[in-house]
Every structure is written in C-alpha cells, then in structure tokens.
C-alpha cells in the first residue's frame, strides 16, 4: 500500500478507514472500515447502543438513567448512583424508650451502662456482660443444693420464697359432774382436734405437734384411776390414804413430728384422744383440760 500522505497522491475514505482500523485498541472494533465501540459478549453486560446512537448502560448516568432503590424497615436508601448523587444507606433507629442502638462515627453500637447492680463487664469481647456472683462458701455441691433466681412480672430478679414459721393452737377446758373412771384400760372418753392450715402458697410445711393433758380425779380411800393419750397411758394414781383425795391432777405432755408435710395452702387435722382406765374404788373425774400446739416449719 502506498503512503496516503505523499503529496499529489489520491486518498479515499476507505483507505483512511483501513489505516485507522489497524490502530484500533481494546474497546474498539472495525466493520467495513468503520470504527465503532466494541460491545462485550460477557454475561451480565448491560451496555448497548442507545436510540440516540450513544453508548448506553441501563441504570447508569448516561441517557438520564438512575439506579432504582427501595427502603426497608431498617435501612433508608438515597441517591441515584451518579457522581453528583451517589448512593447512600442510613440506618433507621427505633425511637422507642430503652433502645440502646445508635450510629456512631465508628459504626453501629449498642451502648450499655457499666456498673449496673448484679452485673459485671461492659458488653465487649474482652469484658462480656455476666452475672456478678459470690464464691459458693458451703461444703455441699452448688449444682445440687443451691436455690434458684427468678424473674417476676415486673422484670425484677427474685430468689426462692423466704423460709417461714407459724404457730397454731387449740385449748379446751371442760368441767363435768363427777363421771366414773372406766375400769377398762385405754378407754377413749374425749376427742379434741385442731385443724392446722399451711399459710404458705408455695411450699409444704413440716409440722411439730405438742399435746398437753390434765385430768382432775376424785379418789375415795383406796380408789385409783389412770389417764393418757390414746393408747399411751401417762398417769396412774391410787389413793392409799383413809380420806377422799379431791382434784388430784398431773399435767402431762407429748411432743412429736406429725406424719407427712402439709401441702402448700393445705389443711391437716391433729387429733388428741383422751383415754382413761383402771378405775377402782369409786374413782371419778370432773375436769379435762387439753392443749394442742402446732409448730409449722416452712423452708
């Protein structure tokens, strides 16, 4: 090919186009000696030749295109994706009272108050929040024997219900016209009861019962009689004198643990059966005094 720039030579457009095409670099291509933009066949490429003949990329700034955005409940999007209006994304902070989340110059952060009662740490990796506890000081195993900590309806930490103690009693004193002391041993002559109520709605109550009994005997000379609790004869007395012994009495007491705990809020009945017997020589009685004391231990 002759040099198209030699003076006096004739050069047409095809010759010039062919020369330029030989120098085309990346992004350009020639067809029929016409230089044009080369559109990549790579997947996802959105660049085309627009209706006005210009290079057009959908969503870009060319041809008035913008990037479509949409807000979410947590992010506020802005901008058009152009040099003059770049895309922005701002967090939406819930204004509700108690929200600790904030956007700081160093990024998002939930600032925690350090030093709250019952807590240690500041919420960082180096000092995570933890319950502030003491060293278990007892010989038994903490896992097997320790009580619990609970959250109440107001969000306040609570411990196991506090131990409690209660006391209930029933005292009965009855006077009678002289009644004959039965001859048969352990004859039940009176029944006294006490309905014991566990006032604790949470835990069972262990019950310790104290029973007291006092019977006044009238014993002519050489007469005798006995009394006690149920089948447990506690007192026997015989008048060895020559005159009537009036109102002989000895107060006796029994103490014992009542079988089985009382369930929370439950009731149980303690029964005291007054027994008499071995009456001889015209022995009589004219007064029976009983006292039932109930000690409730709730823990």
- Look-up of token digits 């947590």: 74
pLDDT at 223: 98
Cβ(14)–Cβ(4) below 8 Å: no
Burial 100-116 (b: 16+ CB within 10 A, else e): eeeeeeeeeeeeeeeee
Strand partners, 269: 195
CATH 2.60.120 correct for 164-298: yes
Q: In this predicted model, what pLDDT tens digit does every residue of 181-209 receive, in sequence order?
A: 999 999 999 999 999 999 999 999 999 99
Cβ(296)–Cβ(182) below 8 Å: no
pLDDT at 260: 84
Q: In this predicted model, what pLDDT tens digit does every residue of 120-131 receive, in sequence order?
A: 887 778 888 888
- Look-up of token digits 């019952």: 118
pLDDT at 63: 44
Q: Which range is most confident: 19-23, 104-108, 128-132, 158-162?
A: 158-162
pLDDT at position 239 over 80: yes
Average pLDDT rounded to a whole number, residues 268-275: 97
Q: Residue 258: exposed, middle, or buried by beta-carbon count in 10 A (0-12, 13-18, 19+)?
A: middle
Domain boundaries, the chain: 13-64, 164-298
């Amino acid at each position: 090919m002759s040099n198209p720039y030699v003076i006096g030579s004739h050069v047409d457009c095809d010759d010039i186009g062919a020369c330029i095409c030989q120098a085309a670099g990346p992004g350009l291509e020639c067809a029929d000696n016409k230089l044009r933009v080369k559109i990549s066949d790579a997947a996802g490429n959105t660049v085309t030749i627009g209706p006005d003949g210009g290079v057009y990329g959908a969503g870009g700034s060319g041809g008035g295109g913008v990037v479509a955005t949409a807000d979410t409940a947590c992010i506020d999007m802005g901008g058009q994706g152009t040099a003059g209006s770049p895309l922005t994304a701002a967090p939406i902070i819930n204004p509700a009272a108690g929200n600790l989340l904030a956007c700081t110059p160093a990024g998002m952060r939930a600032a925690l108050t350090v030093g709250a009662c019952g807590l240690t740490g500041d919420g960082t990796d180096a000092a995570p929040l933890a319950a502030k506890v003491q060293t278990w000081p007892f010989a038994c195993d903490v896992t097997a024997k320790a009580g619990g900590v609970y959250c109440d309806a107001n969000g306040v930490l609570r411990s196991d219900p506090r131990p409690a103690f209660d006391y209930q009693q029933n005292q009965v004193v009855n006077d009678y016209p002289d009644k004959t002391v039965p001859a048969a041993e352990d004859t039940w002559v009176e029944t006294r009861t006490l309905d014991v109520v566990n006032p604790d709605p949470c835990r069972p109550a262990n019950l310790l019962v104290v029973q007291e009994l006092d019977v006044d005997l009238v014993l002519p000379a050489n007469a005798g009689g006995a009394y006690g609790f149920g089948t447990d004869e506690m007192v026997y007395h015989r008048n060895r004198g020559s005159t009537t012994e009036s109102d002989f009495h000895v107060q006796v007491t029994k103490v014992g643990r009542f079988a089985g705990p009382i369930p929370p809020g439950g009731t149980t009945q303690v029964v005291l059966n007054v027994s008499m017997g071995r009456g001889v020589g015209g022995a009589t009685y004219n007064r029976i005094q009983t006292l039932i004391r109930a000690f409730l231990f709730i823990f």
